Amino acid sequence: MSTALDTTPAPSRTLRAVNPLSGEPFGPAFALTTPAELEALVLAAAKVAPEYADTSGEQRGAFLRRAATEIEALATEIVAAAMLETGLSEVRLRGEVGRTANQLRLFAGIAEEGSWVDARLDRPDAARKPAPKPDLRSLLVPLGVVAVFGASNFPLAFSVAGGDTASALAAGCPVVVKAHPAHPSTSALVAEAVQTAARECGLPVGVFSLVYDDGFENGLTLTKHPAVRAVGFTGSRSGGLALIKAAQERAVPIPVYAEMSSVNPVVFTEAALARTDAAQLAASISGSGGQLCTQPGLLFVPEGAAGDRFVSALGQAIAGVAACALLTPGIQAAYRSGTAAYAGHGDVTTVQGQEAENGLYHAQLYQTTLEAFQTAPELTHEVFGPVSLVVRYGAVDPLTATLEGLEGQLTATLHADPAELPGLSGLIAALRERAGRLVLNGFPTGVEVGHAVVHGGPFPATGDGRSTSVGARALLRFSRLLAYQDFPDEALPPALQSGNPLGLLRVQDGEATRDPL
């Protein structure tokens, strides 16, 4: 018998997409990123981090604008791949391409204008007694390498070139993205667009890279890697908590900006019921298969005849919604389990509860009483997908107390006549304390990407309720404060120089101005 060692390389582990209808793998095989490859990518990002941090706002803006253009140029291919991998409609996905490009251009503009660094200058006073006052100047600077996890429910806008990636790159941080295993081809196409943009803009290799994994190993490795300085994550509560735990157990803990679970409560007053469009609410519940982080999963409806009519109309509207594909086997299993728990609960009645057929899932609606809801904490848990639980209430005070017991949410919505608002101050305060965005007489699905939006919320909606993952403030997550004391002007970054060569809006001796010091 030969004792020679077998030097044949082990076959590469690969990943293929899974058809959301059939559950069968399809399409090209993508090699999973090996530990050695992952280490090389992170070290390359860390190596170029200082150089990329020193790029100007104009350079970063040009990069992000070029990335948007490259993604738009590949839109047809990207949409075709995403339709097969997610089961989402062409209309939805083309809209998501547009949102992704617009986000990149939004952050390009923020980087180019530059005032986001919050430059502050305090004049020195050598004659001040009992001690001289120093020259102090501060600004926000990039954190360093950021790891981003692609989301299953937004294969574009919260994925490879989504808001986390765009905001981190705008802040001056290299990004390593972990592609979601549900849509590898979509991820590859978008990564190609971003890498082309980086190359055409003369940026060093390592500013942006993509890794593949079919589980949790590479994600945990990224989170624990000492060169990674922050994490952006959109996904399940269990996944987010695992990353937060890993980040906190590091020798040097880092922030994990994790968007996790939210049931997005909606409260109706009796006066608002007659003018609330049940069909629009049904569309908000079921849109994109109900697989939106702002989907309204909990509806508080008054008791009585008006409430009965509204719930009946909503049930009919839900029944008329076409069955849909759910994104992944995991989401499908969780939806079946969650809706079965509603249907089998002794204090819950089924308004609409059609079974899945041919791999497609129907929107569902269930109902319970406020009293039962107060004693059944399991009814407060998110069921991700096209389903809502109606909770019937009698008086406002018990409802307010119930709302005060809810976990943190991305959104909270109130349907009421404006004249009722002064009398609902306690209820509004309860909603405000538990949400990142309050909506009046509207529906929470549909997040406007802009400068004022907040897409965050108290735990467990997000791991850190002080931030937003959508909109202009998102890049603040990937920066830190740095102060310079008594440095000569020529040794300061341009944003802090006395002449204000960048024309930034700065705070000088406590006053906001674009004037030189």
Residue-wise pLDDT for 155-169, tens only, equals 999 999 999 999 999
Residue 327's nearest CA partner among 283, 258, 383, 385 is 385
Report DSSP state, residue 503.
Answer: -
CA 79 to chain centre: 21
pLDDT of residue 356: 87
What does DSSP say about strands 349-352 and 511-513: parallel, antiparallel, or unpaired? unpaired
| CATH class for the domain made up of 265-440 | alpha beta
Cα–Cα dist 447/463, whole Å: 19
- Residue ranges of the chain with pLDDT lower than 50? 1-10
pLDDT of residue 4: 42
Q: Other CB atoms closer than 10 Å to residue 38's CB: what's the count?
A: 22
Residue 243's nearest CA partner among 253, 38, 209 is 253
pLDDT of residue 358: 87
pLDDT of residue 12: 72
Positions annotated as catalytic residues are: 259, 293
| Domain regions of the chain by residue span | 33-122+136-260+470-476, 265-440
Give the pair of three-digit tokens for residue 114. Answer: 């530059």
Cα–Cα dist 90/104, whole Å: 21
Proportion of the chain in helix, strand, coil states, percent, rounded to 5: 40, 20, 40
- What SS3 state is found at 97? helix
424 Rama class: left (phi>0) / alpha (psi -120 to 50) / beta: alpha
CA dist list (Å): 80 to 75, 76, 88, 195: 8, 6, 10, 21
Contacts of 473 (CB under 8 A, 6+ apart): 451, 454, 467
Phi, psi of 83 (to 5 degrees): -60, -45
Do the domains 265-440 and 33-122+136-260+470-476 match in fold? no
Q: Which numeric CATH code is attached to 33-122+136-260+470-476?
A: 3.40.605.10
